[in-house]
Amino acid sequence: MENRRLTTVFEVLGSVSAMAYALLIASNTGNEMLGFSLLLVSALLFSGWALIDRRWTFLLLQAFYASSALIGLVRWA
């Protein structure tokens, strides 16, 4: 039961931060650092969910998103 609560929290927070990331990047308002930071947070939350549920392909996808976030942070720094 505890794992289910934790994955729900990771899922909801990961989704909200991913949506905020997408809106910040699409808005082109100079908030790229915040946007890529939110992408990294989202990828880390989703990675936690993937590890708990043993969803290895989803974990691999989150590694890609985390890498993209790090590239964005370095590029826009």
pLDDT in the model for residue 27: 96
In the chain, the largest separation of any two C-alpha atoms, in whole Å, equals 42
Half-sphere exposure of 39 toward its Cβ, with a 13 Å CA cutoff?
A: 24
Compute the distance between CA of residue 66 and CA of residue 40 in angstroms, rounded to an integer. Answer: 5
Compute the distance between CA of residue 21 and CA of residue 34 in angstroms, rounded to an integer. Answer: 8
The predicted-structure confidence for 14-44, as pLDDT tens digits, reads as follows: 999 999 999 999 999 999 999 999 999 999 9
> Residue type at 47?
S
> Residue type at 24?
L
Q: What is the pTM of this model?
A: 0.93
